Amino acid sequence: MPRPQESAVMAQWLMKTEPDDYSWDRLMAEGQTEWTGVRNHQAAANMRAMKLGEPVFFYRSVVDPAIVGVMAIAAEWYPDETDPTGKFVRVKVKPLRPVAQEVTLKAIKADPRLADLALVRQSRLSVVPVPDGHWRILCGMAGIES
């Protein structure tokens, strides 16, 4: 007897970039980009878990760290040719919309509901999952629909 198909579960993510490396404005202008250069095994595992169409917060790190936009996975993982070891991957992302209000790291850390968010707990990790409840909270803080 055939097994019923499991429903696809959408995950949400947050990806960090340094503004000097790649900015939200550049992503908006280009319309799509390959997310490359990730050299952490946990971050790479997160990228391997990403599915087409899943939403991703674009997080500007280092200078005025904040969530500044929402993008979507435009192509699932494939080898990152910039990695000579062949262990790391890249994905393609496309912009969906800027946030109405930037959500600063300071505001995220100040909200006790977000204390267990991977961005707070594993601050050096550049690609992290964002659970449903946290996604809704962050969208509310950003002034956008979840």
pLDDT at 2 over 50: no
No. of H helices and E strands in the chain?
Answer: 5, 6
Predicted TM-score of the model (pTM): 0.92
Residues 138 and 57 sit within 8 Å (Cβ to Cβ): yes
Give me the sign of the Cα torsion angle 39, 89, 104, 64.
positive
User: For residues 18 and 25, what is the distance between their CA atoms, to the nearest angstrom?
Assistant: 12
* Residue 5: predicted pLDDT: 43
Residue 93, number of CB atoms within 10 A of its CB: 22
Q: What DSSP state is assigned to residue 101?
A: E
For 13-142, CATH gives 3.10.590.10
Whole-number percent of the chain with pLDDT over 70: 94
Please write the tens of the pLDDT for every residue from 68-90.
999 999 999 999 999 999 999 99
* Residue 7: predicted pLDDT: 44
Please write the tens of the pLDDT for every residue from 7-17.
456 899 999 99
User: Containing H/E element for 41?
Assistant: helix 41-49
- Domain spans, the chain: 13-142
Residues 47 and 63 sit within 8 Å (Cβ to Cβ): no
Q: How far is CA 59 from CA 13, 102, 105, in A?
A: 10, 10, 9
Return the structure tokens found at 89: 């991957």
Return the structure tokens found at 78: 């494939």
